[in-house]
Copies of this chain bind each other. A is one copy, B any other.
Amino acid sequence: MARGDKIRERISAAAFRLFRQKGFLRSGVDEIAAASGVTKRTLYAHFGSKDELLAQVMATQAKLALDVFRTDFAPNAGSAREIVATLFRDLGRWASTPRWAGPGYSRLAAELADLPGHPARAIARRHKSELETLLAERLASAGVGDSHMLARQIWLLMEGAMMTMLIHGDPAYIDAAADAALVLLAGRAEGTETNPG
């Protein structure tokens, strides 16, 4: 690996840390440069602008997150129930870390809500879709019918749990979300999509 790539990585990692911790707008370029042990001039040699840096950071992290999810998450989970339970257990652990600053992608999307054309938005959108699809595949291979709809609804619960956790800081909301997800799963699995009249 060339030296330049290593520096790129250092900058990208530091930027990601700061963006997630303090948000995009409140993270200064000088700050990012200092945190990566690099001169601002060097930073601008690698990334043309702060927005471009954000876009590249998001793309990099999306790839990393997807790989982690693909390989590490519930690697040999059997039942759909296990998959769902693991998903929310991991979420709870993650969201309980000391200075947890919420879901990175959703936070960034919220921060850029008035800039629908920003490249980072498209990346966040694609990343979310990929995760949703991945979960759907896991559920399908665990024998769940209508796995797409269920995966989508579970992601809705995940998003809601993260935002609510960010607002309230109360892990009970994650438990409630997990419970709801399992109810939904049970509903689908037993073939009773709609309430019996």
Contacts and interface: CB of A to CB of B under 8 A. Distances in A.
A185 B184 CA distance: 10
Interface in A103-160: 105-107, 109-111, 113-114, 116, 121, 124-125, 128-129, 149, 152-153, 155-160
Nearest to A129: B168
A101 to B, nearest CB: 5
Contacts of A29: none
Q: How many copies does the complex hold?
A: 2
Contact of A152 (B109, B169, B176, B195): B176
A111 B27 CA distance: 12
Interface string A158-197: 1111011011110001001101101111110100011110
A169 B124 CA distance: 12
Interface residues on A, range: 35 or more
Nearest to A188: B183
A170 to B, nearest CB: 9
Given A110-B106, A111-B111, A183-B187, A159 B163 contact: yes
Contacts of A89: none
A111 B182 CA distance: 31
Given A26-B114, A159-B159, A160-B163, 5 more contacts: A102-B110, A106-B167, A152-B176, A156-B176, A163-B163
Interface of A: 21-23, 25-26, 99, 101-102, 105-107, 109-111, 113-114, 116, 121, 124-125, 128-129, 149, 152-153, 155-161, 163-164, 166-169, 173, 176-177, 179-180, 182-187, 189, 193-196
